[in-house]
Structure 1
Amino acid sequence: MAYSTVVVMGVSGVGKTTVARLLAERLGVPFAEADDFHPEANIAKMSAGIPLNDADRGPWLESLGAWLREREEEGSGGVMTCSALKVRYRDVLRAGSPGVFFLHLHGTTELIAERIGQRAGHFMPPELLATQLADLEPLTPGENGAVLDVGPPPERLADAALDLLKGA
């Protein structure tokens, strides 16, 4: 595998956690859920339906970059979920792990909204999907990564991700 660290990215509801867990298991590397790194203030804000701003995200992104750097330095590699919606957010993650591979899970607004509506126990309300879609900046040609459509089952997406990483 050419990349020791992978960030499974995209808006809420695309299946980042499910696909990332499967991918980490298949690669035999550590897994991290970016939501677990949010401070309580961020979770309270999102739970109230208030989108985070860049000041809210800054320390959170730095902690994610540190986790990626630690996995790279120890040689274990790792797979992390993170919305990573903007290029500048991905730049912070890349500062921690310059060779990180971004796997962007993408789907139709209708499918994603349906999935969010079916979730239970998640702090991200469906009303914030529109703000995430508005903020989403697709991967640029200079970024290490690929886009996968989230229509297929998670197991097939993990298989496709493995193929991408082997060929990258």
Structure 2
Amino acid sequence: MVPIVVMGVAGCGKSTIGRALAERLGVPYAEADDFHPPANVAKMHSGVPLTDEDRAPWLAAIAGQIAAAGADGLVVSCSALKRGYRDVLRGGNPEAFFAHLVLTPEVAEARVSKRVGHFMPGVLVQSQFAILEPLAAEENGVGVDATLPVETIVEKVLSRLSRTQ
């Protein structure tokens, strides 16, 4: 099974959808936030956006997790905002499938402002939209409206995934 990367800006529902997909498929789930070094978490907690340099070891660690999963399958949540970031993740498995959860900045900010105990403050949502590069037509993946019900999103992702294999 190809790995699935659930991607998008903060507040789009990556963790919720990632867990639901992993459960549905009976494969492990990995939360990309768990791969951030403490310096990245501290930086984001203080409201400072990460740079590409900050993200490099984080993305490499996630790519390593994807590679380690092999044919067993894996669902991982990761913002994967830029094509270059997704290219790093594809280094773990060139067949990786990306599920981009799409929503407006207003909805993302509203969702993030309601989260409790997360290190990513709402002030960073705009910085994520500023660098977001949606999936290109030739990338293996699908964009899905993140405001749909969880089960509907899961169905749309799995339907598109089945057509690519």
* TM-score, length basis structure 2: 0.96
CA positional deviation for 1:70 = 0.7
Select the residue among 97, 104, 115 that pairs with 2:93: 97
| SS at structure 1 position matched to 2:47 | coil
In 1, the alpha carbon distance for the partners of 2:73 and 2:154 equals: 16
| SS at structure 1 position matched to 2:120 | coil
In 2, the alpha carbon distance for the partners of 1:111 and 1:52 equals: 22
Tell me the equivalent position of 2:121: 125
Aligned AA for 1:97? N
Aligned pairs, number: 164
Tell me the equivalent position of 2:7: 9
Q: Which of the pair has the greater relative contact order for Cα pairs under 8 Å at 6+ separation?
A: 1
In 1, the alpha carbon distance for the partners of 2:111 and 2:32 equals: 19
In 1, the alpha carbon distance for the partners of 2:2 and 2:142 equals: 15
| SS at structure 1 position matched to 2:72 | coil
Tell me the equivalent position of 1:144: 140
CA positional deviation for 1:156 = 1.6
In the TM superposition, what are the counterparts of 1:1-168 in structure 2 within 5 Å? Answer: 4-72=2-70, 75-168=71-164
In 2, the alpha carbon distance for the partners of 1:49 and 1:140 equals: 29
In 1, the alpha carbon distance for the partners of 2:140 and 2:159 equals: 15
Indicate conservation of the 8 Å contact 2:141/2:161, yes or no.
no
In 1, the alpha carbon distance for the partners of 2:15 and 2:30 equals: 9
CA positional deviation for 1:126 = 0.2
In 2, the alpha carbon distance for the partners of 1:129 and 1:108 equals: 10
In 2, the alpha carbon distance for the partners of 1:132 and 1:112 equals: 10
Deviations 1:57-98 (A, max 9, x none): 1111000000001112xx211000000000110010001111
Name stretches of at least 5 consecutive residues in structure 2 with no aligned partner: none
Deviations 1:25-58 (A, max 9, x none): 0001110000000010000000000011111111
Deviating beyond 6 angstroms after TM superposition, the runs of 4 or more aligned structure 1 residues are none
Deviations 1:117-140 (A, max 9, x none): 111111000000010000000111
